[in-house]
Amino acid sequence: MTELYRYGPIVFYTNPDDEDTGNYYWTGKSIIGYDDMGIPVDEFGDQCLDLECILHPHYKPKELVFNEFLNMKIPTVSSCKAWFDNALLDVSEGDVKKYILRFLFMQKEHGMYRKGRETTLGGNLYTMLSYKLMNDCQGNTQTLLKRIWPL
């Protein structure tokens, strides 16, 4: 059995015989380790995680929806879940919402998500989310998720 590489819920495997131990078959070059962001890389140093995946630190949303609680546009759950579905990964809608929230928090470190007067990013988004988490949701992440995506 070859070594398995992980990133979030993804367990990469490169040998079809290892299908029972991994959940994402990597057809590219052999994975040899991780880069400084913790993403598996191949022998040429190329990342093995698609930029179209919400888990990627440099993910750029293609489909956005306005969220009243946050007063901003955020990635749609369906567009983010589609990547997992297309990769035949069983990821719940609830988990995708957590990944979107994680992505929003990460924007402090990983660049601009919005531009212009209607939106500001970097530290401002991180500060706003932290404030909403602590003050509007009493520090409870599940409450924050329910406020962002009410039923």
For residue 19, what pLDDT is reported?
63
For residue 120, what pLDDT is reported?
40
Residue 86's SS3 state is helix
List CB contacts of 57: < 8 A, sequence separation 6 or more.
Answer: 37, 39, 106, 109, 110
Residues 50/59, Cβ–Cβ less than 8 Å: no
For residue 1, what pLDDT is reported?
53
For residue 53, what pLDDT is reported?
95
Range list of H helices, the chain = 77-86, 93-110, 123-131, 141-148
For residue 45, what pLDDT is reported?
93
For residue 40, what pLDDT is reported?
96
For residue 111, what pLDDT is reported?
45
For residue 124, what pLDDT is reported?
66
Whole-number Å distance between alpha carbons of 135 and 129: 10
Give, as one character, the DSSP assignment of residue 47.
B
pTM: 0.81
Per run of 10 residues, the mean pLDDT along the chain (length 151 residues) is 83 76 86 94 93 92 90 92 94 95 74 44 66 82 90 79
For residue 92, what pLDDT is reported?
95
- Bridge partners of 10, per DSSP, are 7
Neighbours of 42 (CB within 10 A): 16
- Bridge partners of 42, per DSSP, are 31
What percentage of the chain's residues is helix, strand, coil (to nearest 5)? 35, 15, 50
